[in-house]
A and B are shown apart, each in its own frame.
Chain A
């Protein structure tokens, strides 16, 4: 059972790290601010979500698991809101620099 859980953790964390890597590549390679924003928010949402998922079997208490999930939810909230705000600011400025 513990081997299966360890394997689950490894797969989920590696997948999360992959999304962060892909998001970073997108941030560096995409041509304009809106597409870069798109790459970044995917990395935050999915990458951190998968890493939290992989860490869940390793927490010592239920409270620890809830804290991890709360951190993910807060990052989702702030990431989505700030992506909206940056996107609007870009459109108002009318340029994609």
Chain B
């Protein structure tokens, strides 16, 4: 057994151990911390599987954004006193949940273990048609060219999530702003972090989007980094969450799927098919769509974290 194999097995065991910790943790906060660690370990697993694009997404979305969503939800549950009030589920319910989980895991394991070797793959086809898109990163080609309709619908799912979060607002707060993310009078260390990290983070986010055409990266990963920067700005109270009526916010939320849809319909006239790109112009159109998706992702994720409006609208 080589050193790398031993490290891989150790990594897999560590992932399993942290997964168990996530379930077994007594407090919400402990479980969230374990979940964030689990996501970071998973992204190392994706790197070991030679899937750096997935690793970046897992670290940014699975660990980072989901982590802060869970932390804020946990804090709200705790302050509402609802976290500990619920009685633990009955033994029969817990046993049937465990049985269901075991059956699902066994079915997945069975499918994975009976896969033919080498496994079925579309990777050669994806690589063969890459030149037509003008891109260098086959993952970006899959996302924005081969299955662009799916990617567009994924952005609409994000929009639906925002509608879902906003719709739990009480009527009297509709049109107002969500509660601030951080405490009043933020600490000096937080302000320093905001002042130094955010300019760098914006640079890294735009860079991640831009190199995504040819190397690992893309609008989703770059957008998640930009979203994190906006969240730091809001936590340091340099800016407050925008009100849900704000026009620029709503435009930013629909820019990505909107531009994507317009480009897709334009494909009917320009290239003869819905979501087809004309020959030779694929790359500029793809980057144009991705730029607006970057904006939408950077706006959507902080809006989800900020939650429903909690203040009366300004007259």
Contacts and interface: CB of A to CB of B under 8 A. Distances in A.
Say whether A and B bind each other: yes
Contact of A85 (B190, B196, B200): B190
B192 interface: yes
B197 interface: yes
B189 interface: yes
Given A74-B200, A77-B193, A88-B189, 17 more contacts: A74-B197, A77-B196, A77-B197, A78-B193, A78-B197, A80-B189, A81-B189, A81-B190, A81-B192, A81-B193, A84-B187, A84-B188, A84-B189, A85-B187, A85-B189, A85-B190, A88-B187
Interface of A: 74, 77-78, 80-81, 84-85, 88
Nearest to A80: B189
Contacts of B187: 84-85, 88
A77 B197 CA distance: 8
- The B contact surface, by secondary structure, is helix
A77 B196 CA distance: 8
Nearest to B187: A88
Nearest to B196: A77
Contacts of A77: 193, 196-197
B142 to A, nearest CB: 27
Nearest to A87: B189
Interface of B: 187-190, 192-193, 196-197, 200
Contacts of B192: 81
Contacts of B200: 74
Instruction: Say whether chain A's binding surface is mostly helix, strand, loop, or mixed.
Output: helix
20 contacts: A74-B197, A74-B200, A77-B193, A77-B196, A77-B197, A78-B193, A78-B197, A80-B189, A81-B189, A81-B190, A81-B192, A81-B193, A84-B187, A84-B188, A84-B189, A85-B187, A85-B189, A85-B190, A88-B187, A88-B189
Contacts of B190: 81, 85
Contacts of B188: 84
A77 B192 CA distance: 9
A27 to B, nearest CB: 13
A78 B187 CA distance: 14
Nearest to B188: A84
Contacts of A81: 189-190, 192-193
B11 to A, nearest CB: 16
A20 to B, nearest CB: 15
A83 to B, nearest CB: 8
A74 B192 CA distance: 13
A97 to B, nearest CB: 12
Contacts of B196: 77
A74 B187 CA distance: 19
Nearest first, the 9 closest Cβ-Cβ pairs linking A and B are: A84-B189, A81-B193, A81-B189, A85-B189, A88-B187, A77-B196, A85-B190, A77-B197, A81-B192
Contacts of B193: 77-78, 81
A59 B284 CA distance: 33
A23 B188 CA distance: 26
Residue with the highest number of chain A CB atoms closer than 10 Å, among B189, B192, B196: B189
Nearest to B201: A74
Nearest to A83: B189
Contacts of A74: 197, 200
A81 B188 CA distance: 9
Nearest to B193: A81
Contacts of A84: 187-189
